[in-house]
Amino acid sequence: MKNKLTKIGHRTKEFIKRFAKGTKNYFKHNYLFITFVLTTFIEACMLRFFTVKNFTAISPLLADFAVILLVGSFAYFFKSKNRFKYLMTWSIIFTLVCVINSAYYSNYVSFTSFSLLATSMQIFGVGDALNTIVEIKDFSYILGPVILILVNKRYRNTSYYDYANTKNKSRITFLKTLLVSAISLGFFMSTVTGTDISRLYKQWNREYVVMKFGIYVYQANDLIASLKPQISPLFGYDKAAKEFREYYEEYPSEKSDNKYTNKYKGKNVIVIHAESIQNFLLDTEINGKQLMPNLKKLSEEGLYFSNFYAQESVGTSSDSEFTFNTSLLPASNGTVFVSYWDREYLSIPKLLNEKDYYTFSMHANKGNFWNREVMHKQLGYDKFYNYKTDYTINDEDVIGLGLNDKSFFKQSTEKISKINEKNKNWYGVLLMLTNHTPFTGLEDATDIDLTYKYTKTNEETGEQEEVINDYLKDTTLGNYFTTAHYADEALGEFVNELDEAGLLDNTILVIYGDHDAKIKRSEYNRYYNYDPETDSKLDEEDPNYKEFTKYDYEINRSVPFIIWTKDNQEKKKIDKVMGMYDILPTLGNMLGIYSPYALGHDIFSIDENFVVFPNGNWITNKMYYDSQSDEGILLDQNAVISSDYIEKYRDRAEKEVQVSNDIIVHDLIKKTKESKDVLKENKNG
């Protein structure tokens, strides 16, 4: 027995000795591969450090490590001289993944998608915004490929360059590397739950996926998910159709019957798509002057929904247009306007067409931007007026992406007058443009003074003197204030022009902010904690310092929604939380139209409303819930929130995101018999 134990101990010692020698040899003679693994792995950790802050969590570390080893292991199928090219190619790819996601997260608090490639040409329309999007930290990842180049240059002519320099050694090294990758993957899979797998598959909760699966698994899975527009319709239809039917059986979209039912039936409608306008602007004053006096006045004279949220995703303005018109959420991957334009949707223009309304849309940008020329026709607009084809464009009238709002509104008023002469009833949507990122080009076009003025005692003379701090100069927030003020001026002039043309007598005016301005939280932190005495942000230790938290940022993203008439019959502020998908049921009830596929609600026919965002977050008047971190914040300090309350809305949120996406991907409205019946019912109703 003793001899057996001695032999086992000897063999174990020999094995450890050989393993240690082999490992030492591997590291000593395989600098290039090790450099690739380390630099790429560090990049992934850096990205999570700069974004979701969980760079030390075990699960994503194992996942990233496994992916890097798997991809890198195939380098051993190449001859030594070509291995650098292979590893360098992947190093650049991984670096680009980190750079792009780092910049995207800083601006949109989410991770980018391959589906955005379909809309990548849109970036050329906002090229001036790049300098506000990319930060110095986003270039730190470039060190990875640079270090790999330096290591290759240093060791390529030495015996240390590549350990696996024969076919046999290459094959063995490949298998060993693959084995380590498989072991890492195995350990990682032991940490994954069924809920994690479900969220990976659905992909809409991107921050959670990166926190759990790492950036490289996320991006690989996203590539597969981005092919869904071509692949998904071929698979899963029966399951999607079943869940679609079950959802509307559980949460039917019913016709409303309240004091606003048919209130504006037969009225003409002008809808203003107010680019990037947020609610807080209405109450913002600079040096005692209101930033948006005209919009503020309209909000006080009509129905003002003060707790209203856009529900856009990567499609920004186009997503808001889609949700406004259909009461569906944006697609989980890609954008409806570009990736799913060929589906059938039940929309406000289509429903009004059945009531003999002439429907039109107007925009001072190019018609192919966000594929609007195609998608507006698909939504049911009879005519889409756009840029050079329908508007007179003078160079001095061009600001940013197209014709400035003042000229756009003036020319549009003339067109609406002609439409009014030919049609008994009409419905038109006008998309504003000047207040679009990067919020520049108007430095001398408005009278708003953004400086901070105060008086102090001169220490030498003892006299009072005025101090002027231009603290918003060259900031995105300052530029935003300037263009927003200009947009408000344009809006005020437009209302006057409509009135002078007699177009407001039988018309309701609907105004909605399409989404927030996408300005970084750090700028708000500085703005709300500005100290004029030092011309700098208050120190965090200062008793007057108030952090602008991530929840403050989310709540601050609310946008205005106003329904106004010239006679000011309805003056009311509605504080109940409301989302973009609630407009069709609410406004539709006033106009006498209805969609059984609406995910939203008539705000006047529901006690407690609930708004879900495309990333799975949701809000009620009682709380805001963050699905990524599985935590929330109370909005009503007197509310008592139970676990059942959170679970109810969390489950509802997942169902809404899923069923909406299924409707879009599988074209379920077209394949559902009721769609034709709905149009017929609206026509006769």
Strand (E) or helix (H) holding 416? helix 405-422
CB atoms closer than 10 angstroms to residue 378: 18
Burial profile 59-79: b = 16 or more Cβ within 10 angstroms, e = fewer: bbbbbbbbbbbbbbbebbeee
Q: Of the candidates 668, 657, 606, which has an alpha carbon nearest to the alpha carbon of residue 328?
A: 657
**CB–CB of 512/560 below 8 Å?**
yes
Residue of 488, 396, 399 whose CA lies nearest to 437: 399
pLDDT in tens, 282-322: 999 988 889 999 999 999 999 999 999 999 998 889 999 99
Distance CA 116, CA 332 (A): 12
Mean pLDDT for the chain overall: 86
Predicted confidence at residue 121, as pLDDT, reads 47
Rounded CA-CA distance 202/657 in Å is 9
Beta-carbon contacts of residue 589 (< 8 Å; ≥ 6 apart):
255, 256, 258, 260, 261, 262, 602, 604, 605
Contact 612, 656 (CB under 8 A): yes
Flag whether pLDDT at 413 surpasses 60: yes
Q: 348 near 595, Cβ under 8 Å? A: no
Predicted pLDDT of residue 33:
86
Q: Is the peptide bond before 438 cis (omega within 30 degrees of 0)?
A: yes
Residue 359 near residue 384, CB atoms below 8 Å: no
* pLDDT of amino acid 19: 55
C-beta separation of 623 from 639 below 8 A: yes
Average pLDDT over residues 162-169: 58
Question: What confidence category does residue 367 fall into, taking pLDDT thresholds of 50, 70 and 90?
Answer: confident
Helix (H, G, I), strand (E, B) or coil at 399: strand
CA dist., res. 309 & res. 343, Å (int): 26
Give the pLDDT confidence score for residue 128 in this predicted structure.
Answer: 46
Query: For residue 395, what pLDDT band results from cuts at 50, 70 and 90?
Result: confident
Cα separation, 184 vs 279, in Å, equals 49
Amino acid at 484: A
Q: Which token pair is 90?
A: 């992947």
Residue 166 confidence (pLDDT) above 70: no
Give the span between the Cα atoms of 340 and 328, in whole angstroms.
13
Smallest Cα–Cα separation from 161: which of 21, 33, 23, 22? 33
Sheet of 623-626: strand order equals 611-612, 618-619, 623-626, 631-634
**510: DSSP letter:** E
Distance CA 360, CA 349 (A): 8
Number of Cβ within a 10 Å radius of residue 475: 17
Residues 565 and 260: beta-carbon distance below 8 Å: no
Q: What residue ranges do the domains of the chain occupy? A: 2-108+122-192, 278-285+437-490+505-574, 351-434
Sheet harboring 507-513: ordered strands across? 383-386, 358-363, 426-431, 268-274, 507-513, 561-565, 303-305, 572-574
Per-residue model confidence as pLDDT tens digits over 657-674: 999 999 999 999 987 755
Q: What is the DSSP string of 533-550?
A: TTTEEPPTTSTT-----H
Could you read off the pLDDT of 99-157 as tens digits, one per residue? 988 887 876 667 887 766 655 445 444 444 455 556 778 888 988 999 999 988 887 76
Give the pLDDT mean for 634-656: 94
434-492: pLDDT as tens digits: 998 888 877 666 778 888 887 877 777 878 888 888 888 888 999 999 999 999 999 99
The two three-digit tokens of residue 470, written as one number: 């231009």
- pLDDT band (50, 70, 90) for residue 503: very high
Contact 573, 306 (CB under 8 A): yes
CB distance 294 to 491 below 8 Å: yes
Q: Tokens for 498, please give them.
A: 């409509």
Give the single-character DSSP code of 396: G
Cα dihedral: 86, 92, 97, 102 (round 10):
150
Is residue 397 predicted with pLDDT exceeding 90?
A: no
Distance, in Å, from the CA atom of 154 to the CA atom of 131, rounded to the nearest integer, reads: 36
Q: What is the mean pLDDT of residues 26-38?
A: 79
Are the CB atoms for 557 and 289 separated by under 8 Å? Answer: no
Confidence band, pLDDT 50/70/90 cuts, at residue 22: low
Inform me whether the pLDDT recorded for 549 exceeds 90.
yes
CA-closest candidate to residue 293, choices 303, 280, 304, 283: 283
pLDDT at 123: 45
Please report which helix (H) or strand (E) contains residue 217, including its range: helix 206-225
Residue linked to tokens 């808001």: 320
Higher pLDDT, 230 or 448: 448
Higher pLDDT, 583 or 130: 583
Q: Residue 325 pLDDT > 70, yes or no? A: yes
Q: What is the pLDDT of residue 415?
A: 97
189 token code pair: 């899979």
Neighbouring CB atoms inside 10 A of 225's CB total 22
Q: Where would I find the H helices in 423-520?
A: 476-500
Tokens 């209101």 sit at which residue? 290
Q: Which of 62-71, 218-227, 257-266 has the lowest mean pLDDT?
A: 218-227
* Lowest-pLDDT range of 108-112, 411-415, 580-584: 108-112
Task: Identify the residue with better confidence: 516 or 205.
Answer: 516
On the CB side of 665, CA atoms within 13 Å amount to 29
Higher pLDDT: 387 or 247? It is: 247
Write out the H or E segment, with its range, that includes residue 468: strand 464-469
